[in-house]
Amino acid sequence: MYSYSPHYGEEPPLSGDKGSGTIFFSHCGMKCVYCQNYRFSQEGAGREVAIGRLADMMMELADGGCHNINLVTPTHYAHMIVRALRIAWMRGLSVPVVYNTGGYDSMETIQLLEGLVDIYLPDMRYSSDEMARRYSGAPGYVSNNRLIVKEMYRQVGNLRLEKGVALKGLLIRLLVMPADISGTLDTLDFIAGSIGTGAALSVMSQYYPAYKAVREKELARRITPEEYRVVRERVDEHAFRNGWVQPQEGSFDGRFSGERFDLNV
């Protein structure tokens, strides 16, 4: 793993006022050329920890007041994480567990997690398999991603909050990318038709050309106001009721205050 600490840069119901208890795992099943966390997701920075020590970390975060245990890029360690969670639960861990993933997980893994994960936080990064293969080394991403997100929704339903803090449910991240590489409009259409407009969305403008993206002509810039506007308009057209739209103006604020586009969550 790479690090663990209270994190305040997540969506508002995850960070709350005490932080999300975030555990960043080294390596990733996707190979995004623009990854902002490339030092540990691509280059493998981090260290090995025993399962018992991982359980200790979870308890430290919860005992420190964090609202949840937020597992970032956990898929390739899922079986070991489950063992650590069982130890932590025996010690009294009671905060929600967040499964924070790029959305390129196996159905088998997601099905095995039923009843163990409270909040699923997947990316729906692409609506084109060619873009997914070219820029993330993720062949077959789209059909796989859509199937597992539907399964996540079946398990936990729409996002539910208590006093502004997430307790359970699905929160879908949509990173808008330059030149329509993400195909976010098509993804919004899919969510509206297959999951429903009550789904909680996190629409993100924070893309910037990190890591190897500067070598790719289409990715070597931020998104334009026009590219972001059409996505926001599609959100409105479908009348999505719940979630957050990240402001585009200025540089990205790591606290990610965002904009609620309704109060019905």
Domain ranges of the chain: 3-260
Can you give the pTM of this predicted structure? 0.94
158-187 confidence digits (pLDDT tens): 999 999 999 999 999 999 999 999 999 999
| Burial class of residue 85, CB neighbours in 10 A (0-12, 13-18, 19+) | buried
Tokens of 53: 């020590």
Predicted confidence (pLDDT) at residue 58 exceeds the cutoff of 80: yes
* Digit-coded pLDDT (tens) for 199-228: 999 999 999 999 999 999 999 999 999 999
pLDDT of residue 250: 54
Give the 3-state secondary structure of residue 147.
Answer: helix
Distance, in Å, from the CA atom of 196 to the CA atom of 238, rounded to the nearest integer, reads 9
Quickly state the pLDDT bin for 257 (edges 50, 70, 90).
very low
**Lowest-pLDDT range of 39-43, 61-65, 86-90, 255-259:** 255-259
Tell me if 17 sits within 8 A of 262, measured CB to CB.
no
For residue 169, which phi and psi values (nearest 5 degrees)?
130, -175
Half-sphere exposure of 143 (CA within 13 A, CB side): 3
pLDDT recorded at residue 265: 28
Q: Does domain 3-260 have CATH number 3.20.20.70?
A: yes
**Would the pLDDT of 249 be above 80?**
no
Instruction: Determine the pLDDT at residue 248.
Output: 85
pLDDT at 256 over 60: no
Task: Evaluate if residue 259 carries a pLDDT over 90.
Answer: no
**Residue that is written with structure tokens 């070219």 in the block:** 134
Mean pLDDT on 136-150: 98
Query: pLDDT-based confidence at 156, cuts 50/70/90?
Result: very high
The pLDDT of residue 264 is: 31
Residue 255 has pLDDT above 60, yes or no: no
The pLDDT of 141-156, averaged and rounded, is 98
Q: Is the pLDDT of residue 189 over 60?
A: yes
What is the tens place of the pLDDT at every residue in 97-134?
999 999 999 999 999 999 999 999 999 999 999 999 99
